[in-house]
């Protein structure tokens, strides 16, 4: 089974680096998510340098294109 044959996981838990709040979110399959507002402290999360989206930076699961070994938002 290759990487592209695996089922894509759409749920990821984002953890805010400012306050530590964790929230399960559904990742979009058709767009990158470049901003995320923490529901606890209101911090606006942005991708870390080198990452394509907030899920790749702060989530437990990378975004769907990265899971499929594709370029995200390229």
Assigned domain for 51 exists = yes
Assigned domain for 73 exists = no
Assigned domain for 72 exists = no
Q: Tens digit of pLDDT for each residue in 4-51?
A: 457 999 999 999 999 999 999 999 987 789 999 999 999 999 999 999
Name the pTM for this structure: 0.84
Assigned domain for 71 exists = no
Assigned domain for 12 exists = yes
**Per-residue pLDDT, 73:** 65
**Per-residue pLDDT, 68:** 86
Assigned domain for 43 exists = yes
Domain tally, the chain: 1
Assigned domain for 74 exists = no
Q: Are 61 and 32 in contact (CB under 8 A)?
A: no
Question: In Å, what is the CA distance from 48 to each residue of 28, 52, 59?
Answer: 19, 8, 12
Structural domain harbouring 18: 3-66
Assigned domain for 55 exists = yes
């Amino acid at each position: 089974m290759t990487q592209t044959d695996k089922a894509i996981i759409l749920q990821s838990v984002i953890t805010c680096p400012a306050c530590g709040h964790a929230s399960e979110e559904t990742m979009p399959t058709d767009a990158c998510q470049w901003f995320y507002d923490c529901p606890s402290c209101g911090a606006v999360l942005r991708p870390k340098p080198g990452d394509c989206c907030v899920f790749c930076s702060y989530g437990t699961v990378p975004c769907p294109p990265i899971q499929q070994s594709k370029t995200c938002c390229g």
